[in-house]
Structure 1
Amino acid sequence: MKRFLFSTAMLLAFVFFSSCLWASEPLWIDVRTADEYVSGHVDGAVNIPYTEITSRIGEVAEDKEAPIYVYCRSGRRSGIALESLQQAGFTNVVNVGGLEDARAKAADAAPE
């Protein structure tokens, strides 16, 4: 019985810590137009144009404290998206800048 309880406790601890690690993965949002997104984007990024960010963020993010990385072509539109998300209560949003900056940051963050 003790082994069963110990095994169960270890399994629950593993699941808990795994979910914490997974939850800390940032959500990448490309705030450019759909045509720009199709021409190239960060792997795993979702496309929500900056003009629609506040009305559509609920489709991809519920936790307002989860990390969100936004990017566009140059950083201007992602700056606007950052401000909109902050006004909507999101507290962990980063303007990564342009697409090339975002690709470099994503490559740096990728596990080896």
Structure 2
Amino acid sequence: MMNQLIEFATTHWTLVAIFMVTALAVFWFESKGNAAALSPAAATTLINNEDAVVIDIRPATEFRTGHITNSINIPASTIKDQIDTLEKHKNTPIILVCKSGLTSGASASELQKSGFKVFKLQGGITEWQSASLPLVKK
């Protein structure tokens, strides 16, 4: 297996280079959202102790396949348009949830600009499931 990987990388070095640059760009862009990342256990504590609001930014079709109890589905593509509807949660911590924890940075930045206290779920819904925490299907 390792030999095949090395052979692929040397044969298709431009493809591997493009992949690496793209991956680094994604990580850099997402790290710009200064929201702290929370483990599933820390998120659960914040939900239970401070009534944190969970906002799932995945598309509605993914949200329906399983989401955190009482979470609100606001797809990332519409987060700017929905900021007014979140005003009632301005003084409450907000935890953003995406699929893998890599795409919530831009949404976090938008909410932070508007004065919200925002956190990101580390590893997204995938990490939540790996921790054997419950999901609701709608």
* TM-score of the aligned structures, taking structure 2 as reference length: 0.52
Alignment correspondent of 2:68:
42
Residue type matched to 1:49 in 2? Answer: P
Greater CA drift, 26-35 or 79-88: 79-88
3-state DSSP of counterpart to 2:91: coil
3-state DSSP of counterpart to 1:42: coil
Residue type matched to 1:43 in 2? Answer: T
Alignment correspondent of 1:93:
118
Identity score, percent: 31
Preserved contact between residue 23 and residue 66 of structure 1 (Cα < 8 Å): no
Matches of 1:53 and 1:67, distance apart in 2: 16
Higher RCO (CA-CA < 8 Å; seq separation 6+):
2
List structure 1 runs of 4+ shifted beyond 6 angstroms. none
* TM-score of the aligned structures, taking structure 1 as reference length: 0.63
Alignment correspondent of 1:72:
98
Matches of 2:68 and 2:56, distance apart in 1: 8
Aligned residues: 84
Measured on the aligned residues, the alpha-carbon RMSD in Å equals: 2.4
3-state DSSP of counterpart to 1:62: helix
Equivalent of residue 79 in structure 2, options 45, 53, 57: 53
Residue type matched to 1:46 in 2? Answer: I
